[in-house]
């Protein structure tokens, strides 16, 4: 074997290509999982924001129906 021109095993490039493809597949799966988690998180945030809006309306309604008497409740 010549030091300037080392011999590459016949299966070397094939193995390297397979490892690259496997790594790309793992990364793709990880990204899909992260996207799914992000989607679930964003849906939960939307739900909480909508519930918060409902509670604000309910609170405003209660304040309006109680009028000034609400200041005495403490």
pLDDT tens digits for 12-26? Answer: 789 889 999 999 999
38 found inside a domain: yes
Contact predicate 67/61, CB 8 Å: no
Number of domains present in the structure of the chain: 1
Only one residue has tokens 């790309």, namely 24
Rounded distance between C-alpha atoms, residue 37 and residue 44, angstroms: 11
The domain of 31 spans 25-59
Rounded distance between C-alpha atoms, residue 13 and residue 8, angstroms: 8
pLDDT of residue 13: 80
7 found inside a domain: no
35 found inside a domain: yes
8: pLDDT strictly greater than 70: no
50 found inside a domain: yes
45 found inside a domain: yes
Whole-angstrom Cα Rg for the chain: 31
Q: Is the pTM value of this prediction over 0.75?
A: no
44 found inside a domain: yes
């Amino acid at each position: 074997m010549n030091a300037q021109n080392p011999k590459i095993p016949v299966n070397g490039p094939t193995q390297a290509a397979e490892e690259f493809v496997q790594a790309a597949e793992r990364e793709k799966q990880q990204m899909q999982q992260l996207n799914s988690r992000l989607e679930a998180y964003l849906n939960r945030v939307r739900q909480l924001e909508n519930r918060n809006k409902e509670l604000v309306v309910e609170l405003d309604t209660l304040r309006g129906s109680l009028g000034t008497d609400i200041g005495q409740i403490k």
